[in-house]
Homo-oligomer: A and B are copies of this chain.
Amino acid sequence: MRLMQNPAPQRDSYHHGNLPQVLIREGAALLAERGIDRFSMREVARRAGVAVAAPAHHFGNARGLLTAIAAEGFGQLAQRQATAAAAMTDPRDKVIARCRAYIAICVEEPGQALVMFRPELVNDSDPLFQERAVQTFALFRDAVARAAIPDANASQVGQIAKTLWSMMHGLQALRMITDAEAEGLIRFAVGAMLAGPR
């Protein structure tokens, strides 16, 4: 049996009030700052001003927090892509705009991006994560379907969507492009994939 010796809370109230959201925000910031290999649950707790064990109550373990951060990121990505696509009228430009938004979120929200596209880091059976990830890709595939040639079947549309989605991921993960190159590369790839092989 262990006795409490220094209960001293550092906050106004014992209960934080909104800890899960704060942990997600601080976690994403720490990821952006340090990268995944120097990410630490204890440091997140420290920055949130709570005990090291507090995060575990809400997220179970480190993987749980990373999963929540990724789910949050997919929500943001879907929203950004919708906004970007809405600003365009041509179906092909809508696809291009969605690709741009993908690259943009990786640049502007590096914390979320670091875990969103790493299946091995998250708990991919988490319902919220799964729903948002699937939904985000589905919206992209629908945009591709509307831009594809009229007689394209679902299988072909799926191939194009998967290919472009993968390409976006690879370009930023492998650091193969600068921001300046991105635009031309996206236009070229989207144009080529929608046209298909000759």
Contacts and interface: CB of A to CB of B under 8 A. Distances in A.
Given A159-B185, A192-B197, A197-B191, A174 B119 contact: yes
A171 to B, nearest CB: 4
A4 interface: no
Nearest to A170: B166
Contacts of A171: 162-163, 166
A1 interface: no
A156 B192 CA distance: 12
Contacts of A192: 192-193, 195-197
Nearest to A194: B197
Nearest to A186: B163
Interface in A159-197: 159, 162-163, 165-171, 173-177, 184-185, 187-197
Interface of A: 35-37, 117-121, 156, 159, 162-163, 165-171, 173-177, 184-185, 187-198
